[in-house]
Amino acid sequence: MVQVQEPGELNALHCSAFTEPPDTRRPLIDMLPQIASKAWYHGYDAFRKVPADLSEATTIGASMTLLAMITCVVLFCCETSAFLTDAPTSRIVVDSNQDELLTINFDVTMLDVDCSHLTVGVWDAFGTERFNITKNVQKQRVDHKGSRKGQPYKEEELLELEFSDRSFTAEELAELDSDWGSSSDNFKHNDFQAVIDAHDFTMINFYADWCSHCRNFAPTWFDFEKSVNERKITANDADGQAASVHLLRLNCVDFQDTCKEQMIRGFPAVRLYRRGAKKGEFDEYTGERNADGMTRWMQSIVAKRHLHTGATYHSIFAEGCRVAGSVNVARVPGTVHFQVGQSKERDINPAFTNVSHTVHHFSFGEAPRGLKASLPSQYRSHVNPLDGQTFVVDKFHKAPSHFIKVVHTRFEDSDLRSYQQTHQWSVRTLQRGTTPQAKFSFDLSPVEVVIGKADRRWYDYITQIFAITGGAFTVMSLAAGVLKASSVQIKSVCWTRSVDLPLRWRCGEVMGGEKLRIDSHGRK
């Protein structure tokens, strides 16, 4: 049988179960200050926890939380790696190097200059110039690849190759082919050698206006000049090919300086100049002043020359030369050049030599070559930019020319010094008769680059970690909120079936957690 107790007894029993023993009980009035103090302190809680019964877990929230965790882990690993890695830094200051001399190290192969003719020279902005340097310079003979051997050019080959690819515009040709009759016409008439080199042969009548013999000879010359220039009268070379011959007149009254240079002693003077001939080399006509005599004389001279030999560019020497060494120069702008010099073994025309070359190594200072491998990757390309490059020209009177800007570089951690370089090059066109040079011009920068390592503080690392964690969860919270709001909006849209169907769905009308189906009469 169950015994039923009175309500009063139950309350007394309940209270007695949760009350302190009689000896430890305190009056409630004594506990009020402590309760108030805790309530005041808890008011500063910025991380209040919402009871689980009042929050809702969704698929979107779980997905964004997982994505936030993955993002935090990845960024944490990246930031830790960056913190543990020493990143190089650089700054620019005034050059601290006060050395008087600068060492230039080179290792160059001249592709078509043998060692007996190759010379090394330097020049600086102080005007100091040294030729044929042999101290600390070593030369090594290098064979050409393949069976082709070098051989000197013949004079006819040089002329054919030198002028075969030359072309003129209509204005330039009119300037070169015009008579030098007056200094006040529309032409400049300032380059006599260019007139000679414009054709295979140039026949010139030097005259003076006051000369009676010149006036008597003028009609005959005009007819002969017209016939030759219009190709009615031609002249063939030794190979049976038609030569380019042009005739013109030169007035020694208006162009006295030119006539003095050509040493004209009497009038009229008819001379035949050959393209590419040396200064003062010509043939002068002394026969009767008629067209037949001048025609036979002109044709006989042209027939002695080979103007169409079919020459091609080739190596002059049977071997090349690899030259390596170092030279000390003043710390001012200057040049290092490689060119052909005279040799006791064979005389050659240095103006027609080829200075194509391969640069194996070119550097400044005394830094070890292995330094490049230990440098940060962003600096390696500027240490020795010429190494391993080949520079080739295939025409006469052309030469590769280099310009190097040198910047002193100092490494704080290792106390090493090196030089960074910026390199530009071009092919220079030289005047006829100038000896080609493989020239390396350099200029020193007045500043230096100091390379060190960036030291990061531990609090920078902690700050970045906090920023990554807080930023990731903030962004993901915003994204989750946007997605949830979008989901609610999408669910509130009604998809209605067409009018002829009996039913339609309203997704937003919910009762008791179930979607209601409403027919076309509004009945549920």
Q: Would you call 443 helix, strand, or coil by DSSP?
A: strand
Least confident range from 45-54, 113-122, 357-366: namely 45-54
pLDDT score recorded for residue 34: 63
Q: Tell me the percentage of the chain whose pLDDT exceeds 70.
A: 74
To the nearest 10°, the Cα dihedral for 22, 27, 31, 32?
150
Q: Which of 117-121, 192-196, 302-306, 371-375 has the lowest mean pLDDT?
A: 371-375
What band does 117 get if pLDDT is binned at 50, 70 and 90? Answer: confident
Quick one: tokens of 447? 């500043």
CA distances to 383, 411, 445 from 93, rounded to whole Å, are 19, 13, 11
* Average pLDDT of every residue of the chain: 78
pLDDT at 346 over 70: no
Q: Are 106 and 328 in contact (CB under 8 A)?
A: no
pLDDT, position 506: 46
- Indicate the pLDDT class of residue 359, thresholds 50, 70 and 90: very high
Which residue would you say has higher pLDDT here, 359 or 482?
359
| Phi, psi (deg, nearest 5) at residue 378 | -70, -10
Mean of pLDDT values over 334-360: 83
Of 86 and 6, the structure prediction assigns the larger pLDDT to 86
Most confident of 165-179, 219-233, 407-421, 424-438: 219-233
Lowest pLDDT segment from 46-50, 64-68, 197-201, 443-447 = 46-50
pLDDT of amino acid 21: 54
As a dihedral over the C-alpha atoms of residue 186, residue 190, residue 193, residue 196, rounded to 10 degrees, the angle is 20
Q: Taking residues 230-244, report their average pLDDT.
A: 87
Provide the angle, in degrees to the nearest 10, between the axes of the packed helices 212-229 and 291-302.
60
Whether 252 contacts 267, CB under 8 Å: yes
Asked if residue 347 has pLDDT above 70, the reply is: no
* 46: DSSP letter: S
Question: Closest Cα to residue 195, out of 222, 218, 169, 173?
Answer: 173
245-251: strand order across its sheet: 245-251, 201-207, 269-274, 283-284
Higher-confidence residue: 309 or 300?
300
Residues 6+ apart with CB under 8 A from 410: 96, 416, 417, 448, 449, 450, 451
Most confident range (mean pLDDT) of 189-203, 274-288, 327-341 is 327-341
34 SS3 class: helix
Answer yes or no: is pLDDT of 405 > 90: yes
Average pLDDT over residues 86-106: 84
Q: Which residues contact 384 (CB under 8 A, 6 or more apart)?
A: 361, 362, 363, 372, 421
Mean pLDDT of 150-164: 57
Q: Read off the pLDDT band of 510 (50, 70, 90).
A: very low
* pLDDT at 17 > cutoff 70: no
pLDDT of residue 10: 46
Instruction: Identify whether the C-beta of residue 109 lies closer than 8 Å to the C-beta of residue 357.
Output: yes
Q: Name the most confidently modeled range: 69-73, 105-109, 489-493.
A: 105-109
Q: Are β-strands 101-110 and 357-364 bridged in parallel, bridged antiparallel, or unpaired?
A: antiparallel
Distance set, CA 29 to CA 16, 26, 42, 368, 502 (Å): 20, 8, 21, 88, 72
Whether pLDDT at 497 is above 70: no
Is the CB of residue 244 less than 8 Å from the CB of residue 132?
no
The pTM (predicted TM-score) of the whole model is 0.54
42 pLDDT more than 90: no
Residues sharing a CB contact under 8 Å with residue 224, sequence separation 6 or more, in sequence order:
233, 247, 291, 294, 295
Two tokens, residue 240: 């049976």
Contact 111, 340 (CB under 8 A): no
pLDDT value at residue 164: 60
Does residue 495 carry a pLDDT above 50?
no
Whether 244 contacts 199, CB under 8 Å: yes
DSSP string for residues in 167-178: ---HHHHHHHHS
Structure confidence at residue 158 as a pLDDT band (50, 70, 90): low
Task: Report CA torsion sign: 323, 325, 329, 331.
Answer: positive
Name the 3-class secondary structure at 380: helix
| Rounded average pLDDT over 506-510 | 44
Both tokens of 283, joined, read 């043939």
Check residue 239 and give its pLDDT: 79
Q: What is the pLDDT of residues 425-478, one digit of tens each?
A: 999 988 877 889 999 999 999 998 887 777 778 888 888 888 888 888 888 888
Return the pLDDT at 496: 43
Residue 15's pLDDT is 46
